[in-house]
């Protein structure tokens, strides 16, 4: 009994995860990461050159998570740089600007790029995706409704969050759920738990609802 109690008290091994950000330039990928890691907002736009890299530690339940974040430049010019960073990814922040229809419509292209770089035999079933509908503080400038963004995300089994790097809205909660989902995948043998992203639709159901 004492041996069992000692085992229970042993801290669980820290989990190392790799997270990448994807999305068009100027949607706020770097600002979301800075808001979470540094608790600040940078109002002046500074384009990410190639890849920005950071490390952070978080505690999820009784598990320490060591997170390596690769913030990928969204400009097409940097494709040759970022295409090396898709491998061995456990989590993806897929970001669009709710005031830019183009950035929302580009999400499919970003997924296609990732699949292409990982190769025909790669599966994304073990990757946790968090779709961030960013800049919700824009108010009347919004052109992508929450229902449209949520439907796109949840029909694919992805997490969906409304965020504002400027005000901080949704950022903390999104990352907490994002990391929790990655722990679940790890404990579920490398597969996303069914229904883990909340309400899910088949592609046919999503098309019907959109119509």
CATH code for the domain of 182: 3.40.50.300
Range list of H helices, the chain: 2-9, 29-38, 79-82, 101-105, 107-118, 146-154, 171-187, 203-210
Alpha-carbon span 55 to 194, nearest angstrom = 29
The per-residue pLDDT for 77 is 72
Alpha-carbon span 73 to 118, nearest angstrom = 18
Q: Is residue 124 part of a domain?
A: yes
Q: Is residue 100 part of a domain?
A: yes
Please answer whether residues 206 and 155 qualify as being in contact, where contact means their C-beta atoms are separated by less than 8 angstroms: yes
pTM recorded for the entire structure: 0.81
Q: Is residue 10 part of a domain?
A: no
Q: Is residue 5 part of a domain?
A: no
Domains held by the chain: number: 1
The tens digit of pLDDT for each residue in 82-95 reads: 888 899 999 999 99
Q: Is residue 8 part of a domain?
A: no
The tens digit of pLDDT for each residue in 163-183 reads: 999 888 999 999 999 999 999
The tens digit of pLDDT for each residue in 1-38 reads: 555 655 555 667 888 999 999 999 999 998 898 888 87
Domain range for 99? 15-209
Q: Which residues on neighbouring strands pair with residue 162, listed in sequence order?
A: 133
Kindly state the average pLDDT of the residues 37-66.
75
């Amino acid at each position: 009994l004492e041996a069992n109690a000692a085992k229970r008290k042993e801290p669980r091994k820290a989990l190392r995860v790799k997270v990448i950000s994807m999305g068009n330039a100027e949607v706020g990928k770097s600002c979301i990461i800075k808001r979470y890691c540094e608790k600040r907002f940078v109002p002046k736009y500074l384009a990410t050159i190639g890849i920005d890299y950071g490390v952070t530690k978080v505690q999820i339940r009784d598990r320490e998570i060591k997170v390596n974040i690769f913030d990928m430049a969204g400009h097409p010019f940097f494709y040759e740089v970022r295409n090396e960073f898709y491998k061995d990814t456990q989590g993806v922040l897929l970001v669009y600007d709710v005031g830019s229809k183009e950035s929302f419509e580009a999400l499919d292209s970003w997924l296609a790029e990732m699949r292409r770089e990982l190769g025909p035999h790669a599966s994304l079933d073990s990757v946790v995706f968090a779709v961030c509908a960013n800049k919700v503080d824009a108010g009347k400038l919004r052109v992508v409704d929450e229902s449209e963004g949520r439907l796109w995300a949840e029909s694919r089994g992805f997490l969906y969050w409304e965020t504002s790097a400027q005000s901080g809205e949704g950022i903390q909660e999104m990352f907490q759920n994002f990391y929790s989902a990655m722990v679940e995948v790890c404990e579920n043998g490398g597969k996303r738990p069914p229904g883990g992203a909340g309400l899910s639709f088949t592609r046919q159901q999503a098309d019907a609802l959109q119509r």
